[in-house]
Structure 1
Amino acid sequence: MNTANVYGWSENKGRTEDIIGTWFAKNAAHRDKVVLATKVYGNMAADGDAWPNHDKLSALNIRRAVDASLKRLQTDHIDVYQFHHVDRRTPFEEIWQAIDVLVQQGKILYVGSSNFPGYKIAQANEIAARRGGTIGLVSEQCLYNLAERRAEMEVIPAAQEYGLGVIPWSPLHGGLLGGVIKKEVEGGRRASGRAADALANTSIRAQIQAYEDLLDKHGLEPGEAALAWLLTRPGVTGPIVGPRTAEQLESAIRAVELELSDELLSGLDEIFPGPGPSPEAFAW
């Protein structure tokens, strides 16, 4: 179960943590059935009332943010506490000092990163190793899907090198990989937001059409195939899904059992070629 302290945004910051906390409170057994992950970094102060320690990864903000999240979540511990973004001003020595205390207090069990470049994953874990006894990062949550494969260059290799699980977010690329053109043709829900903007580009629309045609040839649903593809990728633990309906949740679950043929995987690589590993991706 994945969230962040700022989710809900604007005047509703913390709302998603509140919702999860209410669910936990209804039945104590709920808490032990999930791996709970939330994030710290975003500014939780009221608009116009922000001070330096109201956001990012200072030791003081981390300490305050954990306590606030635990209260909203109505639990005594967070399984995976994630850094939502890199903090260019706070040294990892300070960050890990704060984390060590929280682990000792039992408020968090493990720590992960989100949106970290490969070199920051390395830096964070090397400094953790030098401290001795610091757990270091155990996961990286990054933007990764068929249409956005830049993470393959350095982020995923760094995660694998340091033993981090990779948790892709936006696995359907804002809905672009969920059969948007087919839905339009059939009179269903039209693409919106980032997906609509992308489809306005004729070359991207042609690429998505080729993707949907390929999956139709194999008798597969685009959204399920996109999720199943991620599960074939080295280092990936599991993508984050955000279903709005029970039907979408059932579709995501079916993707776990889906086996993609070598022919299909090759076809997907032709439509969405990855950058390749570094340094070969940008050098000889």
Structure 2
Amino acid sequence: MSNPFSDTFPLALGGNTFGWTSDEETSHAVLDAFVASGGNHIDTADSYSAWVDGHVGGESEQVIGSWLARRGNRDSVTIATKVSRHPQFKGLAPANIAAAVDASLERLGTDHIDLYYAHYDEPERPIEEIAAAFDALVAAGKVLAVGVSNVEPERIAAWIDTAQKNNLAAPIALQPHYNLLTREPYESSLAPLAAQHGLGVFTYFSLAAGMLTGKYRSASDIQGTDRERHLSRYTNDAAFGAIDALTDVAAAHDVEPASVALAWLRNRPGVVAPIASARNVAQLDALIAGARLELTPDEVARLDAASA
């Protein structure tokens, strides 16, 4: 079977900032710059950005949809989005999935979604029911491929087994929380599963909520910031030691620490593309550099050891 991700640029653009910290005009500029740099895979979710006061979810998809309409470039990019967390479409009941995909298609202004993820599992729901619901979307041509995120390895394996036994569309992509500071449980439980089943891996929190930009070098740097809630999990000596190694390697290449963090991720087994977002075009430069930077074996070994 041919690799469905063989033409994917080794950086996926995250859409979580679109319509939130990036207004429509800025978001379109980021998307334009990403594509101009060779990028072709955009990742979003129907729930982005429902966590913001006054937002209802789907803001990111709407911004991407307006960009696709203005540029007329739908066939030159692949779009990934997700179901189960939108306030109106919570969970993985078949009827909910069917309604949510139609809402996403309308916001995106397209007749198909290239990669559709189960964003979070609904563990009490039979996996056979979920597998059949996603297969129905593929059969209808609304979705081209299926992915999983935040689903336990046993449930993913059961989904794939069910799909194979019943001739259903099986997941081909995995989106895990994985970065230089968070290597587990991905490496011990999810990476072997991805390798066994040939799942393409697209990592989220690739820059550890901004920690791997090198901006935060101590716990005091984080206190009082708008990212304190996300960053507090990384305020330990081991994390800051890994960041020291990261900044040293970055200095040797005259690039930003974020570029090195993405280059390290990009070369992990099974990873098709790390997902990273940019609030503006200036932030995108370091991300694109990470898609092209080649680390030496000694540098990779140093980062491995520092983050183990």
TM-score (norm 1): 0.84
Residue identity matched to 1:63 = A
Does residue 177 of structure 2 align to residue 157 of structure 1? no
Does residue 289 of structure 2 align to residue 246 of structure 1? no
Does residue 66 of structure 2 align to residue 22 of structure 1? yes
Does residue 183 of structure 2 align to residue 141 of structure 1? no
Residue identity matched to 1:266 = A
Taking the aligned partners of 1:203 and 1:241, their CA distance within structure 2 comes to 23
Aligned partner of residue 77 in structure 1, secondary structure: coil
Taking the aligned partners of 1:6 and 1:241, their CA distance within structure 2 comes to 17
Unmatched 5+ residue regions in structure 2?
1-41, 220-224
Taking the aligned partners of 1:142 and 1:257, their CA distance within structure 2 comes to 22
Aligned 1:1-284 pairs, distance under 5 A = 1-10=42-51, 11-27=55-71, 29-45=72-88, 54-132=89-167, 134-150=168-184, 151-181=186-216, 192-194=227-229, 197-198=232-233, 200-202=235-237, 204-217=239-252, 219-273=254-308
Inter-CA distance 124–252: structure 2 relative to 1 (3 Å threshold): same
Number of equivalent positions: 260
Residue identity matched to 1:208 = I
Residue pair 1:181, 1:209 contacting (<8 A) in 2 also: no
Which stretch shifts more, 229-238 or 15-24? Answer: 15-24
Give the CA deviation at 1:226.
0.4
CA-to-aligned-CA distance 1:180-204 (integer Å, 9 cap, x gap): 14799xxxxx784256535654553
Q: Sequence identity, in percent?
A: 37
Residue pair 1:117, 1:154 contacting (<8 A) in 2 also: no
Inter-CA distance 200–152: structure 2 relative to 1 (3 Å threshold): closer
Residue identity matched to 1:8 = S
Higher relative CO (Cα under 8 Å, sequence separation at least 6) belongs to 2
Residue pair 1:175, 1:195 contacting (<8 A) in 2 also: no
Give the CA deviation at 1:210.
4.1
Taking the aligned partners of 1:129 and 1:267, their CA distance within structure 2 comes to 41
Please give the root-mean-square deviation of Cα atoms over the aligned residues, in Å: 2.4
Which stretch shifts more, 70-79 or 4-13? Answer: 4-13
Residue pair 1:129, 1:136 contacting (<8 A) in 2 also: yes
Give the CA deviation at 1:97.
2.0
Give the CA deviation at 1:160.
1.3
Give the CA deviation at 1:102.
1.7
Inter-CA distance 182–191: structure 2 relative to 1 (3 Å threshold): farther
Give the CA deviation at 1:218.
5.3
Aligned partner of residue 101 in structure 1, secondary structure: helix
Inter-CA distance 199–239: structure 2 relative to 1 (3 Å threshold): closer
Inter-CA distance 254–217: structure 2 relative to 1 (3 Å threshold): closer
Which stretch shifts more, 65-74 or 244-253? Answer: 244-253
Residue pair 1:180, 1:191 contacting (<8 A) in 2 also: no
Taking the aligned partners of 1:90 and 1:195, their CA distance within structure 2 comes to 29
TM-score (norm 2): 0.78
Instruction: Say which one has the larger Rg.
Output: 1
